[in-house]
Structure 1
Amino acid sequence: MKLTILGCYAATPRTLTNPTSQVLEIKNRLFLIDCGEGTQVQLRKNKIKFSKINQIFISHLHGDHFFGLIGLISTFSLLNRNNDLHIYGPKGIKEIIKLQLRLSNSWPNFGLHFHELENKESEVIYEDDKVLVKTIPLKHRVYTNGFLFQEKVEERKLNIAAVQEYEIERCYYQNIKNGKDIYLEDGTLIPNEELTFDPEKPKSYAFCSDTSYNETMLPIIENADVLYHEATFLQSEENLASKTMHSTAIEAATIAQKAQVKQLILGHYSTRYDSIDLFKQEAETVFSNVLLADDELTFDL
């Protein structure tokens, strides 16, 4: 599992900072999370192949989280994309994008599928044989979701030495990997644990931006391996955070501590501050395992 931060600053793009967008690589799949202005440039700078992005998740319809989407779709068309593209986002995202495509006469030459969200309860919105994605309802000025990405439990790994010792035929290998016990020809039962190794523990990544302090998310993100949580303000601007329905670094750390996640990554910083190190310092007064997101930074989770 690898996370590449394309942008992690609030409000408007600047010469040295970009609005929210990130790519999560999990089980050889690439998921684009939010698509702020300049996302396609950041994808190129980070050498991420456009053709590998087939799912895009948009948290909410504030410009710093989706203004880069129409440009990215248009570039996909210019590159003669063939793969279908699936976009998951709040109700209204389809209308916005289709209006831009219609008025510019720029209909894509690939399948463009919108999955509009309006449920205020957590729900599964994407699933394949390796990964499951569910929403994390957030509290912001407009309808907003975070996203929880979960690896599925893999099949068990064959203990080749043990299988060969018992002279078990290959036709039974898949059943063994699926967790089944095996009977030998003489009726002897061989427990599955003797023939396999445990698979790696599945990992999970929770993305939460933008939101005010919100304990209702705790059961959804509990024990997540990594939590990315917005920290727009420091505690000195707590009143401003409350007014704009954003979080402070300490509030993000409190959520991480109460959810018992293993790792907290802070992002979505207001550009009013001279150094983002201040966010880490404040958060560590509550939660010890804190990392700072920054543009073009990659985390091996």
Structure 2
Amino acid sequence: MKLTILGCYAATPRTFTNPTSQVLEIKNRLFLIDCGEGTQVQLRKNKIKFSKINHIFISHLHGDHFFGLVGVVSTFALLGRTTDLHIYGPKGIKEIITLQLRLSNSWTNYGLFFHELESIASETIYEDDKVLVKTIPLKHRVYTNGFLFQEKVGERKLDLDAVQNYGIETCYYQIIKNGKDITLDDGTVIDNYKLTFDPIPAKSYAFCSDTVYEESILPIIKNVDVLYHESTFLKSEEALAKKTLHSTATEAATIASKACVKQLLLGHYSTRYESIERFREEAETIFENVLLADDGKSFDF
């Protein structure tokens, strides 16, 4: 599971920082999460293939999280894309993007599908044979969702020495990897655990963009491998965080601790601070495993 941070700062872009956007690679799928201004430039800088992005998830309709979307959609068309593109986001996102495409006479030459979200409860919005994506309802100034990406548990690993010792034919190998017991010709039943190793543990990633401190998300994100949680402010600006419905580094760490996540990744920093290292220092007083997102930084989990 690999995460590339394209942008992770709040509000407006600067010459050396970018608004929110990131790419998650999980089970050989590439998901674009939020699409702030300048996202397509950051995709190029980080050498991420446009053609591998088939699903885009937008948390909410504040500009620093989606103003780059129409540019990405248009560039995909200019590059001759033919593969369908699916966009998941709040109700209204289809109207915004299609209006820009219509007025600029820039309709795509590929299938563009919008999946508009309205539910205030967590729901599954994407699923294939390897990955499941659910919403994480958040509390912000407009309708907002985070996203939980979960690998599905893979097939069991074959113990070749064991199956050969039992004289099991290769035509049964897939059945064994699927978790089934095997009955030999003499009627002896061989339990699956004697023939296989446990699969690689499934990984999970929770993206929680703009939100006030919200404990209702704890059951959804419990025990995830990595939690990205916004930390716009430090505790010294707690009153401002509450007023703007954002979180502090302390609050992000508290959520991580209560949800028993393995790793906390901070981001969406206010540009008022000279050093983002202060966010790590504050969070580590509550939660031990803290990482700092930064533009252009990649993490392999």
- Give the 3-state SS of the residue equivalent to 2:153 in structure 1: coil
Moved over 2 A (4+): none
Partner residue in 2 for 1:34 = 34
Aligned-partner Cα distance in 2 for 1:102–1:9: 31
Structure 1 gaps of 5+ residues are none
Q: Please state how far the C-alpha of 1:278 moved relative to its aligned partner.
A: 0.7
Aligned-partner Cα distance in 1 for 2:236–2:191: 60
- Give the 3-state SS of the residue equivalent to 1:34 in structure 2: strand
Aligned-partner Cα distance in 2 for 1:100–1:281: 43
Give yes or no for the alignment of 1:287 onto 2:287. yes
Partner residue in 1 for 2:217 = 217
Aligned-partner Cα distance in 1 for 2:182–2:289: 44
Alignment of 1:259-298 (within 5 A): 259-298=259-298
**Offset from partner CA, 1:198-241 (integer Å, 9 cap, x none):** 00110100000100000000000000000000000011111110
More displaced 10-residue stretch of structure 1: 155-164 or 12-21: 155-164
Q: Please state how far the C-alpha of 1:147 moved relative to its aligned partner.
A: 0.2
Aligned-partner Cα distance in 2 for 1:299–1:243: 32
Return the letter of the residue paired with 2:271.
Answer: T
Return the letter of the residue paired with 2:207.
Answer: F
Partner residue in 2 for 1:44 = 44
Q: Please state how far the C-alpha of 1:171 moved relative to its aligned partner.
A: 1.8
Partner residue in 2 for 1:57 = 57
Partner residue in 2 for 1:145 = 145
Aligned-partner Cα distance in 2 for 1:183–1:214: 52
Return the letter of the residue paired with 1:287.
Answer: F
Aligned-partner Cα distance in 2 for 1:197–1:58: 38
Return the letter of the residue paired with 1:205.
Answer: Y
Aligned-partner Cα distance in 2 for 1:182–1:289: 43
Aligned-partner Cα distance in 1 for 2:285–2:197: 40
Alignment of 1:73-84 (within 5 A): 73-84=73-84
More displaced 10-residue stretch of structure 1: 185-194 or 30-39: 185-194
Identity of aligned residues (%): 80
Alignment of 1:1-301 (within 5 A): 1-301=1-301
Aligned-partner Cα distance in 1 for 2:96–2:228: 27
Q: Please state how far the C-alpha of 1:58 moved relative to its aligned partner.
A: 0.1
Aligned-partner Cα distance in 1 for 2:190–2:122: 42
Q: TM-score, normalised by structure 1?
A: 0.99
Q: Please state how far the C-alpha of 1:129 moved relative to its aligned partner.
A: 0.5
Aligned-partner Cα distance in 2 for 1:251–1:281: 13
Q: Please state how far the C-alpha of 1:163 moved relative to its aligned partner.
A: 1.1
- Give the 3-state SS of the residue equivalent to 1:154 in structure 2: coil
Q: Please state how far the C-alpha of 1:189 moved relative to its aligned partner.
A: 1.1
Q: Please state how far the C-alpha of 1:197 moved relative to its aligned partner.
A: 0.7
Q: Please state how far the C-alpha of 1:167 moved relative to its aligned partner.
A: 1.5
- Give the 3-state SS of the residue equivalent to 2:279 in structure 1: helix
Aligned-partner Cα distance in 2 for 1:183–1:249: 56
**Offset from partner CA, 1:168-208 (integer Å, 9 cap, x none):** 11221111111111111011111111111100110100000
Aligned-partner Cα distance in 2 for 1:146–1:190: 45
- Give the 3-state SS of the residue equivalent to 2:70 in structure 1: helix
- Give the 3-state SS of the residue equivalent to 2:97 in structure 1: helix
Aligned length: 301
Structure 2 gaps of 5+ residues are none
Aligned-partner Cα distance in 2 for 1:227–1:169: 44
Aligned-partner Cα distance in 2 for 1:198–1:270: 44
Q: TM-score, normalised by structure 2?
A: 0.99
- Give the 3-state SS of the residue equivalent to 2:253 in structure 1: helix
- Give the 3-state SS of the residue equivalent to 2:73 in structure 1: helix
Aligned-partner Cα distance in 2 for 1:170–1:164: 9
